[in-house]
Structure 1
Amino acid sequence: MGETFKVHGYTEDQLMSMKKDNLRAVFHERTHHTIEVYYYRILKGGYEMPKDYGVVAGKLLEIWKNRGFSLDPPDIQWCIKYIDAARKMREGKDPGLSVTPWESFTEADAETIERLIYGRKSIRQFKTAPVPDHLIRRILKAGLYAPHGCNVGCTRFLVLRDPEEQKLVSSDIPIENCVMVVVLQELSMYHTMRFEKFVPQNLYFDAGAAADHISLMAHALGLGHCWLTHGEETQKKLREHFNLSPTMTSRNHIIIGWPDEETLKSERMNLDEAILN
């Protein structure tokens, strides 16, 4: 690669020394914005394929390999599949990207999802029965798969079972008999692509989407939950206690347990009142 190769202003040398998480974020984002976004526009939308379609992401893959990082993680495999498809398209070949055709949910499926969404409510009182690790992992995976701006992938979690560690998190409600999931973000991944300048709102949306997915999956598994937020004091305590990097910042937390209360489900205004046009 020549000296002129740059991504988001970073030279090859800078990319070769960049923090792994930050390089991963750049790799995700460039695969998304330079290949995925245009893939079907090129195949079916009449969009003219750029001559260098997929080349930048391909060079980032070379850098990833040269640094000795694993190709096995599913997010890296996702990048590789798109890079391979783009290469084949540049060569005039079928991209060969095997994707399961989209199938609409049945009406019964939709009704189940509606029951999940409309039935979800905050629970603040829990039974003493423990929540198994395998259920927490299912819940965390749902949070990890929430929509994420530009596919950056900066969401991280802390799972707090110890009541003393849970006290690190400031809360305006009693916290007992629960597992606490803290949603964090590695802000250096945003800073690497200067998101704080161009899309500063993304980090809050990403954390909120993760918490929402966590809440819905907990409800689907029969667990109660309550989604809460906290401020800088809690962020500082967590960072110090768990020896987190200065750029690892907590955003919200969700308490999860077996429900021991029957609260009245809150209602919303009529839909027509919320539609402004």
Structure 2
Amino acid sequence: MLRRPASTAILAVVAAALLTASAMRPDAAPAARGGAHQQTTTVDVELVLAVDISYSMDPEELALQREGYAKALTSPEFLNALRQGIHGKVAVTYFEWAGSSEQRVIVPWRIVDGPEGAGSVANEILASPIRRAARTSISGALLFGAALFETSGQRGIRRVIDVSGDGANNSGQIVTAARDEVLSRGITINGLPIMLKRPSYATMDIELLDEYYEDCVIGGPSAFVVPVKDRDKFVEAIRTKLVLEIAALTPGSPVIKAAAANPRVPCTIGERIWQERWGN
């Protein structure tokens, strides 16, 4: 598990791994595509980008978050990872979330198979007006994201929800219940906890948000967390995370789902803080 901001060293490791993975490309190993599962797939990954727009995110963070995803999708590292896949393309959708009933698709499902497709998705992300909304429902985001796979029109070798946020769940279903429901559908959940500010009573931030994400939010095969603790590393962290997801790699040891049986941070801490402050 990665518990520090992403670094260029990680990208160097990824680049080396991609060179090895190139042997699995369709033109290098046509026989590898003979399995029944691979014959039914159309893309390497179906990727849902679930992005927090709760009021605890300030306008600068919201703009930085969008810029990060746009730059990551058009980066040479991402496009190189894309080319190394069995199909050489992925399906991507991007939605914003806050409270339990606040989810809005900003970019519907799009096929990304090269610079043109990546640039189109990046432009759609940047063109939408920035907005904010109340509460933080990671559980609502996970369940909404899982439902989106039924509308992708594609079948990926892997299905991944990439959820970013700067706080703990305080609205809707308990996050572990939603997580387990999503995992039961064969979907992997990866996390991008945003830890740029000191925890504040006003915004109900928590300490050790990265550990909360590791133990309470993410799961599935090779699930991982890339925390963002430095504004200057924001774009790099998102790029690293997307490259790892497309390349089916992890930044360290895979996270074992059983770790959540004894979480280091209580998985209901967000609900508890909300109740203590607002009494409901």
Specify which structure has the bigger relative contact order, considering alpha-carbon pairs within 8 angstroms and separated by 6 or more residues.
2
Report which of the two structures shows the higher radius of gyration computed on alpha carbons: 1
Q: TM-score, normalised by structure 1?
A: 0.27
